[in-house]
Amino acid sequence: MLPDQTFLRIPGPTPIPPSVQRAMNQPMIGHRDQEIKDLLHSIKPKLKPVFGTSQDVLMIAGSGTAGLESVVTNTVRPGDEVLVIVTGAFGDRFVQICQEYRIATHRFDVEWGEAVKPEAIEDYLKQHHEIKAVFATFCETSTGVLNPVQEIAQVVHQQSDALFIVDGVSCLGGVEAKMDDWGIDILITGSQKALMLPAGLTFLAVSDRAWQVIETNERPSFYLDLTKYRKQLENDSTPFTPAVSLLFGLKQVLELFEEEGLDAVCARHKLMMNMTREAFKTLGIPLLTSDQAASPTVTAIKPHDFDPDALRNVLKKEFKLTTAGGQQHLKGQIFRIGHMGYCSPADVLQTISIIEGALHKIGKHVELGSGTRAAQETMLSGGS
């Protein structure tokens, strides 16, 4: 392999489009100059369709976890009861954040690899009337599950007055999102996934209903006080130093989205998911999730007759292809392929072909080209 050639196929950070890299290489400007105001003014309306909202989208310099923590500190108080739906490692992170702030946390665990059933949440809320907020993960990165947040939002609002808060970090920009129509109160994402940027920005859209709760929450916060970001964004500014280079890149990302069309972006991600899944089905290697629960942005594979970490090591060492391993109790049991953001069906074909060769190198004999052929046939049929 060429020494400078690498293939990044993890569920974030993801590859950066060359035009976005060029945009981020622009000379630095003063973060309080008119140029920043003009930049934010141009970005604001372009972000709204990605979230499916009429609300301005807040931009905070920080990782996606900063966004998760901010919604906890701004919406609930110590002693308040909340429900966290845990379908993997990042649902578990919401639990940890809530417990760190001494929130009375109800934990609803779902078997890893399965999506939550909305009717189960409906039954739970019928029995727990004091819950102030329900936290869920849209795409559970650790398992490749896409949870039915539209249906969950419906039962949350039917059965309670709780806010419905969704972590969309590993899928927003790659799947359809209609925050306002679906009844999501706060939707969060990060820059380093389907938004095709380096890590360092977190984005939040907040409903009018959630703002009413935030405005009456007297809990102190400084850097993560969302009302500060809303006030400054109204004036095309930020309360603290913005990540200027990332904002340059974000403007270009949003222009790429407009050029391709958000519906086409989502269709491309769904096609890549189907190509990946059909390849492994043809190779006879089990997938962690069902077709119904699968995410368009990341696929988790759970082999039964070879070591996934041995495969990952060969992929990395001999082919410069980086994939992700399992987390927590799935460590050493699965491997994950990210197919989001700056990724195309051609990239999926390359990835599957490389994996077939690496499988032979670790002693797992498959018919070379069979998985690639299945992916090709899926691509040519449009994913059907």
The DSSP secondary structure of 111-124, one letter per residue, reads -TTSPPPHHHHHHH
The first and second tokens of residue 272, run together, are 């890549």
> Binding site: which residues?
336
Distance of CA 276 to the CA centre of its chain: 18
Alpha helices (H) along the chain = 18-24, 34-51, 64-75, 89-100, 118-127, 149-159, 179-182, 208-216, 226-234, 244-260, 262-283, 308-319, 345-361, 370-380
383 in Cβ contact with 339 (< 8 Å): no
Strands 163-167 and 186-190: parallel
Q: How distant, in Å, are the alpha carbons of 38, 252, 316, 327 from that of 8?
A: 34, 21, 10, 18
Residue 373 has, within 13 A of its CA and on its CB side, a CA count of 7
177 close to 51: Cβ distance less than 8 angstroms: yes
Spatial distance between the Cα atoms of 204 and 68, rounded to a whole number of angstroms:
9
Q: Collapse the DSSP code of 384 into the 3-class scheme (helix H, G, I; strand E, B; otherwise coil) and give the result.
A: coil
Binding residues for substrate: 336
